[in-house]
């Protein structure tokens, strides 16, 4: 009897210990999840005002424009802006991200969000230098922004907004990067291709290209000290979709620039405490075409040291450049014979024409293959039979032979026969006609002797498959590809050593008047702000593809909304909770103003790719 009791006690103690360990493990997981700074950042209210200067209310360059005195800054640093304005203006700073689909959050205003500055006169753009073609604005500083000490690393946008005159409310933008706090390196480090931004920038009449330079003669020196000629580039062309995707998924991500890598190559190998080199990655976004020798050396050293590398665009690392004037001038002669530099290792020419050659396929596994002619249709990546069983395809719904429409084009890369690179695994392939001629494109992975893995997407359009944001040249109607989104989630989480689909924490029972379902409320009592309210929506992890549908606020009768107070479209990633902003109708705003509150129902209907319909009803009071 005593032995039976003792055994029972031991079993009970063991059960309690197991339960305690399980609770401690869950508490640790929950704490880690809540500590994700990117998730917390993107839970803050977004502000659609960031779209003004890049899309909806672009000011003429003759009325206002400006630039930042540096490509990037750290928390606590000062960023000086050099603005020329024909009328009164203010500078509004936004951080780009997800923010419930809004895409940006207002961070600061200069001098404040309720005041402005007098017009700012600056010298006219100087003529291009006859020897180098360089155009440097050389304007005086007009505004200073101190990056908050707790600022989250990211893509930031300074909007130079006119506040008076016939163009009041219109703006022009200038992007810059806020680097991670040096004490908290991220597991995913994104490198923004600012060299390419300036290479194509033809403000003042010159770029590194003849097609958009005066007299069709390219410059061989371009300056960072000038505005961008295009209001909706360069960030919105090839990078914004990936930024929104990474932040929507709550990745532990930080951002630096080409210039930062050249100045401090070691930034590519800085890791969070306790994370092994094989469990971190550097991500090259967009069109990173121009690298200095130190940048290429840094990438080579990174993978040799065991840290993973991901290139989500195409035509990366094709041209070697160098910096002058404290990294504010980019030099590129394009041909070694034209470059007066006496050092053959730093000649500005294609990497594969250097002496000795350094073809980029030796680093990325692929190399530039083709350029799409304007108006020619894009191609579709296909899943090769040998790749379909790869773990990165888990949960994507993609099988051998499946096509991913519109994922290959503009510029693309392919495998180079005979390139000195470890054995490649082909993950997506295209073979057909692009730009009017037969070609092929490849997305590949390989592993180095150090254990580092390298993935190259091989197409500029690849990132467009990660988010629906339209961008300046993206054809109307093109949307994200759910299978591709999951594929990239799998590869990133594999490289950083995180589960692709971590189990969600247990849901608390909802209040009796808010049935558990696909929509819940941030609060039963919601304060209307800027004539809108926000609710929290989610799509089950078991869904196949996005949950798309509609969310409606209003009065309900017989299960239907009979008087509408607001409506918003739903496009939700499985398992990812999003904050939906619902703009109130004019009738709802009048009722709210008259009575001080508005009692409403939320009705949400959504379906996934299988057609599964989910309807949720919830009551709320809008104050």
Distance CA 73, CA 105 (A): 18
Q: Extract the runs of DSSP E, i.e. beta strands, from 325-371.
A: 329-331, 367-371
Taking residues 250-277, what's their average pLDDT?
90
**Per-residue pLDDT reduced to its tens digit, 14-66:** 444 444 433 333 333 333 433 478 989 999 999 999 988 888 899 999 999 99
Distance CA 269, CA 280 (A): 9
Q: With 80 as the cut, is the pLDDT of residue 609 above it?
A: no
Mean pLDDT lowest among 13-22, 151-160, 487-496, 548-557:
13-22
Q: With 50 as the cut, is the pLDDT of residue 509 above it?
A: no
Taking residues 549-573, what's their average pLDDT?
76
Taking residues 216-245, what's their average pLDDT?
93
Q: With 80 as the cut, is the pLDDT of residue 538 above it?
A: no
User: What is the DSSP secondary-structure string of 304-369?
Assistant: HTT-EEEE-SSS-S-EEEEEETTTTEEE--SSGGG---S-GGG--SBGGGSSS---THHHHS-EEE
**Per-residue pLDDT reduced to its tens digit, 563-603:** 888 887 777 776 666 777 788 888 888 888 788 788 887 77
Q: What is the pLDDT of residue 575?
A: 63
Q: Compare 434 and 365 and report the one with higher pLDDT.
A: 365
Q: What is the pLDDT of residue 234?
A: 75
Which residue, chain included where needed, has tokens 């700074």?
A: 37
**Per-residue pLDDT reduced to its tens digit, 143-168:** 999 999 999 999 999 999 999 999 99
Structure tokens at 521: 């409320």
**Percent of residues, the chain, with pLDDT higher than 90:** 64
Q: What is the pLDDT of residue 475?
A: 84
SS3 content of the chain, % helix, strand, coil (to 5): 25, 30, 45
Range among 125-129, 432-436, 540-544, 548-552 rated most confident: 125-129
Taking the alpha carbons at both ends of the chain, their separation in whole angstroms is: 66
- 375 band by pLDDT with thresholds 50, 70 and 90: low
What is the phi/psi pair of residue 64, to 5°?
A: -160, 140
Task: Judge whether 69 and 80 are in contact, CB under 8 Å.
Answer: yes
Mean pLDDT lowest among 7-11, 226-230, 299-303, 552-556:
7-11
Q: Compare 100 and 608 and report the one with higher pLDDT.
A: 100
Q: What is the pLDDT of residue 474?
A: 87
- 191 band by pLDDT with thresholds 50, 70 and 90: very high
- Helix (H) or strand (E) holding 298, with range, is helix 293-304
Q: Compare 457 and 101 and report the one with higher pLDDT.
A: 457
Task: Judge whether 175 and 157 are in contact, CB under 8 Å.
Answer: yes
Mean pLDDT lowest among 24-33, 244-253, 397-406, 463-472:
24-33
Distance CA 497, CA 488 (A): 14
Taking residues 129-141, what's their average pLDDT?
97
Mean pLDDT lowest among 116-120, 365-369, 406-410, 542-546:
542-546
- 230 Cβ neighbours under 8 A, 6+ residues apart: 201, 472
**Per-residue pLDDT reduced to its tens digit, 73-129:** 999 999 999 999 999 999 999 999 999 899 999 999 999 999 999 999 999 999 999
Q: With 70 as the cut, is the pLDDT of residue 471 above it?
A: yes
Taking residues 415-426, what's their average pLDDT?
97
Distance CA 177, CA 155 (A): 5
Q: What is the pLDDT of residue 277?
A: 64
User: What is the DSSP secondary-structure string of 504-544?
Assistant: PPPPPPPPTTS-SSSEEES-SEE--BTTEEEEEE-B-TT-S
Q: What is the pLDDT of residue 55?
A: 84
Q: With 60 as the cut, is the pLDDT of residue 381 above it?
A: yes
Q: What is the pLDDT of residue 333?
A: 97
Q: What is the pLDDT of residue 421?
A: 97
Taking residues 459-465, what's their average pLDDT?
96
Q: What is the pLDDT of residue 525?
A: 61
Q: With 60 as the cut, is the pLDDT of residue 513 above it?
A: no
**Tally of CA atoms within 13 A in the half-sphere of 381 that contains its CB:** 31
Mean pLDDT lowest among 152-166, 174-188, 220-234, 553-567:
553-567
Q: What is the pLDDT of residue 568?
A: 79
Burial class (CB in 10 A: 0-12, 13-18, 19+), 476: exposed
Is the previous residue joined to 511 through a cis bond, with omega within 30 degrees of 0? Answer: no
- Output the average pLDDT for the chain: 86
Distance CA 368, CA 377 (A): 19
**Per-residue pLDDT reduced to its tens digit, 444-456:** 999 999 999 999 9
Q: With 90 as the cut, is the pLDDT of residue 555 above it?
A: no
């Amino acid at each position: 009897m005593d032995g039976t009791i003792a055994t029972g006690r031991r079993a009970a103690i063991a059960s309690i210990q197991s339960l305690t360990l399980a609770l401690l493990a869950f508490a640790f997981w929950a704490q880690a999840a809540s500590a994700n700074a990117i998730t917390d950042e993107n839970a803050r209210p977004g502000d659609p005002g960031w779209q003004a200067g890049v899309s909806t209310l672009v000011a003429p360059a003759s009325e206002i424009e400006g630039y930042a005195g540096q490509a990037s800054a750290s928390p606590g640093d000062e960023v000086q802006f050099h603005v020329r304005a024909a009328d009164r203006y203010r500078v509004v700073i936004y951080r780009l991200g997800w923010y419930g689909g809004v895409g940006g959050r207002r961070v600061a205003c200069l001098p404040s969000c309720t005041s402005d500055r007098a017009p700012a006169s600056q010298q006219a753009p100087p003529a291009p230098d006859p020897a180098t073609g360089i155009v440097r604005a050389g304007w005086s500083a007009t505004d200073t922004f101190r990056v908050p000490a707790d600022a989250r690393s990211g893509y930031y946008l300074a909007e130079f907004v006119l506040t008076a005159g016939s163009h009041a409310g219109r703006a022009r933008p200038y992007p810059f990067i806020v680097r991670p706090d040096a004490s908290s390196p991220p597991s995913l480090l994104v490198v923004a291709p600012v060299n390419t931004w300036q290479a194509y920038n033809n403000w003042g009449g010159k770029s590194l290209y003849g097609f958009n330079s005066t007299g069709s003669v390219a410059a061989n020196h371009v300056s960072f000290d000038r505005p961008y000629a295009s209001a909706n580039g360069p960030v919105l062309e090839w990078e914004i979709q990936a930024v929104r995707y990474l932040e929507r998924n709550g990745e532990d991500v930080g951002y630096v620039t080409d210039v930062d890598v050249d100045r401090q190559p070691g930034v590519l190998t800085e890791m969070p405490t306790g994370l092994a080199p094989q469990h971190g990655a550097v991500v090259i976004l967009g069109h990173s075409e121009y690298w200095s020798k130190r940048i290429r050396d840094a990438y080579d050293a990174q993978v040799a040291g065991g840290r993973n590398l991901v290139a989500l665009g195409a035509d990366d690392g094709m041209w070697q450049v160098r910096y002058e004037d404290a990294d504010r001038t980019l030099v590129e002669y394009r041909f070694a014979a034209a470059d007066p530099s006496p050092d053959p290792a730093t000649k500005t020419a294609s990497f594969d024409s250097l002496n000795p050659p350094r073809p980029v396929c030796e680093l990325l596994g692929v190399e530039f293959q083709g350029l799409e002619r304007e108006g020619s249709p894009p191609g579709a990546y296909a899943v090769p039979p040998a790749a379909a069983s790869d773990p990165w395809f888990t949960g994507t719904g993609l099988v051998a032979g499946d096509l991913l429409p519109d994922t290959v084009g503009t510029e693309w890369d392919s495998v180079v026969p005979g390139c000195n690179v470890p054995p490649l695994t082909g993950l997506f392939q295209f073979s057909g006609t692009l730009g009017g001629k037969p070609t092929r494109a490849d997305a590949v992975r390989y592993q180095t002797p150090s254990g580092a893995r390298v993935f190259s997407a091989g197409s500029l359009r690849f990132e467009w498959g990660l988010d629906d944001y339209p961008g300046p040249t993206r054809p109307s109607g093109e949307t994200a590809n759910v299978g591709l989104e999951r594929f990239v989630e799998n590869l990133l989480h594999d490289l950083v050593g995180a589960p692709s689909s971590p189990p969600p924490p247990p849901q608390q029972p909802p209040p009796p008047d808010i049935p558990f379902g696909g929509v819940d409320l941030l609060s039963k009592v919601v304060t209307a702000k800027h004539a809108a309210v926000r609710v929290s929506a989610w799509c089950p992890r078991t869904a196949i593809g996005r949950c798309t549908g509609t969310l409606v606020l209003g009065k309900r009768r017989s299960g239907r909304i009979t008087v509408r107070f607001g409506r918003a479209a739903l496009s939700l990633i499985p398992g990812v909770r999003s904050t939906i902003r619902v703009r109130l109708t004019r009738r709802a705003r009048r009722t709210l103003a008259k009575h001080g509150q508005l009692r409403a129902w939320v009705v949400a209907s959504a379906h996934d790719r299988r057609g599964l319909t989910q309807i949720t009803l919830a009551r709320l009071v809008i104050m």
